[in-house]
Amino acid sequence: MTRTRLSLYDTTLRDGQQTQGVQFSTAEKQRIAEMLDSLGVDYIEGGWPGANPTDSAFFDAGPKTRARMTAFGMTKRAGRSAANDDVLAAVMNAGTASVCLVGKAHDFHVERALGITLAENTENVAASIKHLVASGREALLDAEHFFDGYKANPAYALEVCHAALSAGARWIVLCDTNGGTLPTEIGRVTAEVIAAGIPGDRLGIHTHNDTENAVAGALAAVDAGARQIQGTLNGLGERCGNANLTTLIPTLLLKEPYASTYEIGVNLDALQNLSRVSRKLDDILNRVPMRQAAYVGASAFAHKAGLHASAILKDPSTYEHIDPALVGNARIIPMSNQAGQSNLRQRLMEAGIDVAPGDPALALILEQIKEREAAGYTYDSAQASFELLARRALGQLPQFFEVKRYKVTVERRKNKYDQMVSLSEAVVVVKVDGEKKLSVSESMDADGCDRGPVNALAKALAKDLGRYQSAIDDMRLVDFKVRITQGGTEAVTRVIIDSEDEQGRQWSTVGVSANIVDASFDALLDAINWKLLQGE
């Protein structure tokens, strides 16, 4: 059976930049484009040349990709020809083989936002698309506010689409710009558009996530006959984001009826890099990855309940909808005071530790976990610390180095600009292979900003571990969480540190103390020891 080809159009480099708190540099856009291309998307929308210096610089030195690099812009303005519109000219000058133009498909926006007649807007769309096609470009129209426009004035919304199609547009993309249209309605309207003469193999869908339905809406459009999907990695985008390609891609490849009905540019080999690509994007943006993200999140295949873990031990499909390895993710059996021996044995097996059922060590480890969690620790969200605890109890944890002492000082003073600033300094003395090593680090970063005492401590601890140093050079801390577990004068501080390395591994460690610096140091020690353990 021949499968129908679906086209994947990524808008991360443009829509993603509209995410609050996200601002790509040109170099970052180039790296993301290479990541997208390695996955196998069909189109990469690089941005809006001429709209800002970053996008213009990206197209000036854009990476060579297998995917069709696409420039984004808007249709010509009323009162001038397409050839003489300077905004459209900037988009054309990017030199991409494909160009996507946004055009209004809602009469309300045409008359209120643009202040022109409906006929003028239609002419702007048709003339702009003709200009692209005459210049040898593949033309796409993003029919902005299409679904709202169709509900208000279906005849006009369709008129805009037909004008673009007649002018030679390869793709007409129906945009749910406000993100308020539900999947059932998206499917119905898409089917009606096809019935009105816009072929499904010329039709795309662009959904926003304002009702948490962007992925479902995109799939509804595909079910109705649309053959291009637009979206972003990790669901980046304005307001609540866009359709999440990190969810859509594995759904299309692994779930029926899509897997047997459609073909996409991403293959199963590339799919195994999806979790790494998702986390790399968050790394570039300096964001903490969403643990509950479908398919790629750190908790996507976490099984906490003892009943679940017991079943997983017998057959993972009892509580997993796919094999996590298909998307480059991994199963996690969290440890907590709710754990039973089934959880514990499964988690130990995944760590490469084989303990027979009924072994007295299992009861000992469980008892230690419960005692420590009563004191404020949590192993539910600190798997690396759990593994170290278990190996220590089993006598299977090497002593890579010994911390002899550490000291942290915090100084507040005026700088040369007469501004009050803080500066922390950490001193750590470790013993490696019988040799003492003293390391000192400050909390000031390259930009002259104070990063705090824990940052200084982390840098000092990881500065010189002798023969183990190369094993931790690619390690970085990605998140630092603090919680006070008791109140009043007996307050206890819990610190959880999330770490990662260049191989895409992520791990979490926990420290507990009445002193936040001590708690942080314990979590840091665990993070480094777990990393070193992976090289054994």
Position 62 confidence tier, pLDDT thresholds 50, 70, 90:
confident
What mean pLDDT, rounded, does the chain reach?
91
Report residue 411: phi and psi, to 5°. Answer: -120, 135
Q: In DSSP terms, which residues pair with 482 in a beta bridge?
A: 495
Structure-token pair, residue 172: 């007409």
Which of 257 and 448 is assigned the larger pLDDT? 257
Position 297 confidence tier, pLDDT thresholds 50, 70, 90:
very high
Report residue 82: phi and psi, to 5°. Answer: -60, -35
User: How far, CA to CA in Å, does 282 sit from each of 103, 106, 231, 499?
Assistant: 31, 35, 16, 13
User: Which among 134-143, 361-370, 477-486 has the top mean pLDDT?
Assistant: 134-143
pLDDT in tens, 8-18: 999 999 999 99
* Pick from 73, 72, 62, 71: nearest CA to 33: 62
- pLDDT, mean of residues 126-138: 98
pLDDT in tens, 159-201: 999 999 999 999 999 999 999 999 999 999 999 999 999 999 9
The pLDDT score that the predictor gives to residue 238 is 96
Position 341 confidence tier, pLDDT thresholds 50, 70, 90:
confident
Position 310 confidence tier, pLDDT thresholds 50, 70, 90:
low
Position 366 confidence tier, pLDDT thresholds 50, 70, 90:
confident
Contact in structure between 532 and 514 (CB atoms under 8 Å): no
The angle, 0 to 180 degrees and rounded to 10, between the axes of the packed helices 274-285 and 245-254 is 180
Which of 110 and 352 is assigned the larger pLDDT? 110
The pLDDT score that the predictor gives to residue 299 is 87
- Beta strands 493-500 and 476-484: pairing type? antiparallel
The pLDDT score that the predictor gives to residue 456 is 92
pLDDT in tens, 443-487: 887 777 788 888 899 999 999 999 999 999 999 888 888 888 765
Q: How far apart are CA 96 and CA 491, in angstroms?
A: 60
The DSSP output letter for 61 is T
- Give the residue carrying structure tokens 């030679």: 168
Three-state DSSP class for 101? strand
The pLDDT score that the predictor gives to residue 487 is 54
Contact in structure between 23 and 245 (CB atoms under 8 Å): no
| Residue 317, number of CB atoms within 10 A of its CB | 11
Report residue 150: phi and psi, to 5°. Answer: -65, -40
Q: C-alpha angle with apex 189: 185 to 195, nearest 5 degrees?
A: 150
The pLDDT score that the predictor gives to residue 334 is 65
The pLDDT score that the predictor gives to residue 519 is 94
The pLDDT score that the predictor gives to residue 349 is 81
The pLDDT score that the predictor gives to residue 350 is 75
Residue 497: pLDDT over 90: yes
Three-state DSSP class for 143? strand
Residue 312: pLDDT over 70: no
Position 287 confidence tier, pLDDT thresholds 50, 70, 90:
confident
Position 335 confidence tier, pLDDT thresholds 50, 70, 90:
low
